[in-house]
Amino acid sequence: MTLDALRARFAPTRGYLNAATCGLPVAGTVAALVDGVERWSRAEHDLADYDAAVAASRAAFARIVGVPTSDVAVAAQTAALVGMVATSLPAGAEVLTVEGDFTSVTYPFLVRTDLRVRAVPLAELAHRIGPSTDVVAFSLVQSYDGAIADTDAVVEAARRVGALTVADLTQAAGWLPVDATRFDVTVTSAYKWLCAPRGVTFLTAGPQARDRLRPVHANWYAGADVWSSVYGHDLRLADDSRRFDLSPAWLCWLGATPALEAFADELAGPVPDAVRGHDVALADALRAGLDLEPAGSAIVSLPDPDGSGGARLARAGLRAAARGGCARLSFHVRNDDDDVAAAVEALRG
Proportion of the chain above pLDDT 90, given as a percent? 96
Residue 269's pLDDT band, with cuts at 50, 70 and 90, is: low
Q: In the prediction, which pLDDT does 223 show?
A: 97
Q: In the prediction, which pLDDT does 119 show?
A: 98
Asked if pLDDT for residue 270 goes beyond 80, the answer is no
Please state the φ and ψ torsions of residue 202, each to the nearest 5 degrees.
-130, 150
Beta strands in 31-75 (DSSP E): 72-75
Give the type of residue at 97.
T
Q: What is the pLDDT of residues 314-346, one digit of tens each?
A: 999 999 999 999 999 999 999 999 999 999 999
Cα angle, residue 297 at apex, residues 293 and 301 outer, rounded to 5°: 70
Cβ atoms 17, 318 nearer than 8 A = yes
Residue 298's pLDDT band, with cuts at 50, 70 and 90, is: very high
C-alpha 29/C-alpha 35 separation (Å) is 10
Q: In the prediction, which pLDDT does 265 show?
A: 87
Task: Identify the bridge partners of residue 186 per DSSP, sorted by sequence position.
Answer: 167, 204
Pairing verdict, β 299-303 and 326-330? antiparallel
Task: Identify the bridge partners of residue 16 per DSSP, sorted by sequence position.
Answer: 319
How many CB atoms are closer than 10 A to CB 307?
Answer: 12
So where are the chain's domains?
A: 3-25+271-348, 47-267
- Note the CATH number of domain 3-25+271-348: 3.90.1150.10
CA distances to 68, 124, 155, 270, 344 from 207, in Å: 11, 29, 18, 28, 48
Task: Identify the bridge partners of residue 26 per DSSP, sorted by sequence position.
Answer: 10
pTM attached to this predicted model: 0.96
Topology (CATH) of 47-267: Aspartate Aminotransferase; domain 2 (3.40.640)
Determine the straight-line distance between the first and last CA of the chain, rounded to whole angstroms.
39
pLDDT (average), residues 25-35? 98
pLDDT (average), residues 135-146? 98
- The greatest distance separating any two alpha carbons of the chain, rounded to the nearest whole angstrom, comes to 66
Mean of pLDDT over the chain? 96
Residue 267's pLDDT band, with cuts at 50, 70 and 90, is: low
Q: Are domains 3-25+271-348 and 47-267 of this chain identical in fold?
A: no
Q: In the prediction, which pLDDT does 271 show?
A: 46
Higher pLDDT pick, 265 / 251: 251
Please state the φ and ψ torsions of residue 173, each to the nearest 5 degrees.
-60, 125
pLDDT (average), residues 292-301? 98
Q: In the prediction, which pLDDT does 316 show?
A: 97
Asked if pLDDT for residue 244 goes beyond 50, the answer is yes
